[in-house]
Structure 1
Amino acid sequence: MLKRFCCLFLTVMLVSPPALANLAETLKKIKPSVVGIGVFTPTGRPQNDLRGTGFVIGNGQYVVTNFHVLPAELDKSLKQSIVVFSGSGKNPQTLRAKVVARSEYYDLAVLKTDGPALPAMTLAGERYQSEGSYVAFTGFPIGAVLGLYPVTHRGIIASITPSVVPVVDAGQLNVKMLKRMRDPYLVYQLDATAYPGNSGSALYDIESGEVIGIINKVFVQQTKEAVISNPSGITYAIPVRHLRDLLARHNIAF
């Protein structure tokens, strides 16, 4: 019995690398930089519509998220505005923001807030993170329902793969997908599960807390409605090199 217990203990130690033990400390450092992205409608009920996640960079006034998290347009008659939610719980700080850089192709957007500087995350370098690296992301899965309470998921980089996700049949193809098939860029495929609301979350190194990518989509097995009840467990993230390029083109210091 003692021998069997020792073998089991050794197995547990082997699958619990030191990197994972550092996640709690890394979280303390990066959580103040995790924000919600939404739309504020003064006459709305509710007034705030949480659409996704973002993270603070640079001088503390710039926020990164996904292009698809932004509204297609704001209703001027309702005096709508893009806002950043800082903090957690029922009474976060609400900061008005404007879009200062965007890339639909790489699904990235950069906002600038009009409020005080927030704690910023550090971007990793341009090189790709190695497959098998332990990573995590923190955001607001199903935040429109569960509220502004940050949730962390962890996993590994399972693969570095072209951005095109295979479709079941030709009927699912569209012009945008066909264009991307001709010139795909590489993205991180993760073995961690993201949910609606996680879009725009920073993918970061567990030990250093440096941003290595931006969560932007999950592989859908059946229908969009089944993403929550039957998740595929396959999530994709845009490498940070594309964010660095976008920031450099718009002279945004990071």
Structure 2
Amino acid sequence: MKNSSRKRCTVSNLLVLARFLKMIDSLNKLMLVCTISLLPISTHLRAEQQFTDVVESVTKSTVAIALDAPFKHASPRVLGTGFIVDDGSYAITNYHVVSETLDPKYVENYVVLSGEGTVVKKVKAEIIKIDIKHDLALLKLDSILTPITLSSKNMLRPGTDIAFTGFPIGAILGIYPATHRGYVSAITPDAIPAMNSQQLNLKMMQRLDSVSLIYQLDAIAYPGNSGSPMYDPKSGEVIGVINKVLVKDTKESALSSPTGISYAIPVKYVHTLISDVKR
């Protein structure tokens, strides 16, 4: 009897142990599934946190390009966007942003505005090199500001994610940089399309003889974004300069009816402009 009881007890204990081990195994599997299911969320949160850090860093190097004419305007008139490069004493923007001839009758200067809101630093800027073909201008600053890193890569492939930071509506409410995201939709010639031959002028025909490849973007940019740094959302390295916006009617209607198609000049032309000055 005693041996029989011991056997029954042993079998019972083994069954309890087996159930316990099975329960532990089920819990381990459940925890593994929960962990795996949470991984994409965790990865996404880290990526978003990284992007906000990149935007914060890029914003420090992004400036508003303005015309300072005290006799004409109470405050500097914002013309577009630019960004600080090299050792911090230079800025890049589009040539058309600073193509306005300064009036010798008045005290007029191009300046860059660095900061946010109404508390900004005004730094005098002088145009020292231009690249009309690629619509770029290099400005020499009177003070040192925080530079941004330029990418060493050549042309990026269509489908590459991009971001750009600038001043799409100028300084209506103060200097408040805005950031937009998108991707490279195509590598395209920089020739401006025309509906028929009657719309072609001499300048456009000359451009057709020597076209450059630029980025076409699936991203909404506005006239004030001209000169904005286009950068890698992961590293913050500049890969291009926002250039021209394709709008449905006129520049004035861009804010109300943007097409969503924008263009950017590859950063290799920025490298060339800086190298020419440094020689």
- The 1:22–1:219 alpha-carbon spacing in structure 2 relative to 1, beyond 3 Å, is same
Structure 1 stretch displaced more, 161-170 or 63-72: 161-170
Count how many residue pairs are aligned between Structure 1 and Structure 2. 240
**Partner residue in 1 for 2:177:** 150
**Partner residue in 1 for 2:127:** 99
What residue identity is the alignment partner of 1:43? Answer: F
Residue 196 (structure 1) aligned with residue 217 (structure 2) = no
Residue number among 58, 63, 84 corresponding to 1:35 in the alignment: 63
**Partner residue in 2 for 1:82:** 110
Identity of aligned residues (%): 42
Deviation of 1:225 after TM superposition, in Å, equals 2.7
Residue number among 146, 161, 168 corresponding to 2:195 in the alignment: 168
Runs of 5+ unmatched residues, structure 2 = 1-36
What residue identity is the alignment partner of 2:226? Answer: S
Residue number among 75, 84, 108 corresponding to 2:136 in the alignment: 108
- The 1:102–1:126 alpha-carbon spacing in structure 2 relative to 1, beyond 3 Å, is farther
Deviation of 1:42 after TM superposition, in Å, equals 2.0
Residue number among 194, 204, 211 corresponding to 1:177 in the alignment: 204
After superposition, the C-alpha distances for 1:90-130 in whole angstroms (9 at most, x for unaligned) are: 13110111111111111000111112x21111111141112
Q: Is the 8 A contact 1:55 1:64 kept in 2?
A: yes
Residue 24 (structure 1) aligned with residue 52 (structure 2) = yes
**Separation of aligned partners in 1, 2:166 and 2:115:** 12
Residue 125 (structure 1) aligned with residue 147 (structure 2) = no
Residue number among 69, 78, 82 corresponding to 2:97 in the alignment: 69
Secondary structure of 1:245's counterpart equals helix
Residue 138 (structure 1) aligned with residue 182 (structure 2) = no
What residue identity is the alignment partner of 2:211? Answer: P
**Separation of aligned partners in 2, 1:246 and 1:17:** 38
State the Cα RMSD in Å.
2.1
**Partner residue in 2 for 1:207:** 234
Deviation of 1:18 after TM superposition, in Å, equals 7.3
**Partner residue in 2 for 1:56:** 84
Structure 1 stretch displaced more, 32-41 or 224-233: 224-233
What residue identity is the alignment partner of 1:32? Answer: K
**Partner residue in 1 for 2:256:** 229
Secondary structure of 1:29's counterpart equals helix
What residue identity is the alignment partner of 1:98? Answer: E
**Partner residue in 1 for 2:21:** none
Runs of 5+ unmatched residues, structure 1 = 1-8
**Separation of aligned partners in 1, 2:58 and 2:76:** 24
Q: Is the 8 A contact 1:19 1:206 kept in 2?
A: no
Secondary structure of 1:197's counterpart equals helix
**Separation of aligned partners in 1, 2:45 and 2:261:** 22
**Partner residue in 1 for 2:246:** 219
What residue identity is the alignment partner of 1:111? Answer: L
Point out the structure with the larger helix share: 2
**Separation of aligned partners in 1, 2:226 and 2:111:** 16
**Separation of aligned partners in 1, 2:206 and 2:110:** 30
Which structure would you say has the larger RCO, counting Cα contacts within 8 Å and 6 or more residues apart? 1
Q: Is the 8 A contact 2:117 2:173 kept in 1?
A: no
Q: TM-score, normalised by structure 2?
A: 0.81
